[in-house]
Amino acid sequence: MTAPLADPAVRRVALVRLRLGLGDLLCSLPALHRLRAARPDLRVTLVTWAETAGVVERMGDAVDELLAFPGADDVPDRPPGREPDPASWAAFTAAAAARRFDLALQVYGDRPAANRVTAALGARLVGGFAPTGWTPPPGTEHLHLRYPLELHEAERHTRLFEHLGVPPAGPPVMAFPVPPAEEAGHAATLDRHGLVPGGYAVLHPGASSPTRMWPVERYAAVGDALAADGLAVVVTGGPGERPLGAAVAAAMRAPAVDLTGATGLGGLAALLRDAAVLVGNDTGSAHLAAAVGARSVTVFLPGDPVRWAHRGPRHRAVVADVPCAPCPHLVCPIDFRCADSVRPVDVLAAARALVAR
């Protein structure tokens, strides 16, 4: 039996990736690039939230189109303030059926709800990740891969595509393009603030949930120590994180350049690439740093370093030393002991080791 991604009769593919995070999409990209290299004839539709369009556009020809997902009650990922829209479900499934997908794949993760969404697209073949405890419909076992909990997120996706017919090709390679206009804007930002490539450190104290955020005063302590080492210190984050960035800058004794909300995605990518080191939480900035070849120290509190920590000589993970981590909580139900267990001295040592390289 021909594996579906090696079958020339399979030409239209839907990939159901119902996640919002920048890191989620960046970790999908190595597998998507490998798929495009193996099957340039495929038309690839990414089924995900419309709010991710800016990131999807940067995937270049790895994705041909985005089919906007209206949400579902049993799919937890959703944009802030957005509730599922049942009235849009019929139009969504009709739009999927009109594309006459040859193959629909669940590439969301370890959640059966995503398999139900995938099955609703009306594709001739349906497969993808088989969540823990979920059984594929009879006759489709070969189209599914039991969700590989032991692998990094990027490796999970490349492993799935290999299972379905894409040739193996070594470890996944992250990437993120910065076009010339954004490079020019980045150069102007450095000039405006007197920053020199390799001469500044970046602190990224924000994250998508409170339990992922190492405390402000600990970031400030690391920032002051890096400033004493002779590095300028830059604080970054999204527009909604400006109060947090301001709090870190205010808690430092040394001056800091607060660029929270002041750079677009491409500008942030270039800023991380040219930094001596990034110190940040387990969030999108860590994956963006990996994609542009930056040095990074990532603080893992409830997050799973097996799944999300990037490997190699340019990356360090400082992991909470508590028995309850990793955990799924967005807000800690007890005393946030994982944050207390990560000491500034350990994060600083990891950052200094990377700078010294």
Burial of 133 (0-12, 13-18, 19+ CB in 10 A): exposed
Residues 206 and 113 in one domain: no
- Structural contact between residues 295 and 274, judged by C-beta atoms closer than 8 angstroms: no
Amino acid at 338: C
Claim to verify: residue 322 and residue 205 sit in the same structural domain: yes
Whether residues 214 and 310 fall in one domain: yes
- Answer positive or negative: Cα dihedral of 277, 281, 284, 286: positive
The answer on 203 and 71 residing in a single domain is no
On whether both 133 and 19 belong to a single domain, the answer is: yes
Separation in Å, CA 91 to CA 67, 117, 242: 11, 14, 38
Tell me how far apart the alpha carbons of residues 22 and 44 are, in angstroms, rounded to a whole number: 19
Q: What is the DSSP letter of 237?
A: -
Are 291 and 269 spatial neighbours (Cβ–Cβ below 8 Å)? Answer: yes
pLDDT score recorded for residue 114:
97
Are 341 and 255 found together in one domain? Answer: yes
Entry pTM: 0.93
Looking at the structure, do residues 139 and 196 belong to the same domain, yes or no? no
Residues 284 and 319 in one domain: yes
Closest CA to 140 of 129, 152, 126: 126
Residue 27 CA, chain-centre distance (Å), reads 6
Q: 179: which residues sit within 8 A by CB, 6+ positions away?
A: 266
In a domain, 172, yes or no: no
How many domains is the chain partitioned into structurally? 2
The pLDDT of residue 81: 83
Domain that holds residue 123: 4-163
155 and 188 fall within a common domain: no
Q: Which phi and psi (to 5°) does residue 166 adopt?
A: -80, 130
Q: Is residue 176 part of a domain?
A: no
The residues, any chain, with a CB within 8 Å of residue 311's CB and separated by 6 or more, are 152
What pairing do the DSSP bridges indicate for beta strands 296-300 and 315-319? parallel
Judge whether 214 lies within some domain.
yes
Nearest 5 degrees, angle CA 230-CA 232-CA 235? 145
What is the greatest pairwise CA distance in the chain? 66
3-class DSSP assignment, residue 127: strand
d(CA 277, CA 137): 48
Residue 76: per-residue pLDDT? 86
Beta-bridged to residue 258, according to DSSP, are: 235
The domain boundary residue, chosen from 163, 189, 217 = 163
Tokens for 32, please give them.
Answer: 């998507």
Q: What is the pLDDT along the chain (357 residues), one digit of tens a residue?
A: 789 999 999 999 999 999 988 999 999 999 999 999 999 999 999 999 999 999 999 999 999 999 999 999 889 888 888 888 889 999 999 999 999 999 999 999 999 999 999 999 999 999 999 999 999 999 999 999 999 999 999 999 999 999 999 999 888 989 998 999 999 999 999 999 999 999 999 999 999 899 999 999 999 999 999 999 999 999 999 999 999 999 999 999 999 999 999 999 999 999 999 999 999 999 999 999 999 999 999 999 999 999 999 999 999 999 999 999 999 898 999 999 999 999 999 999 999 999 998
User: The CATH number of the domain where 71 resides is what?
Assistant: 3.40.50.2000
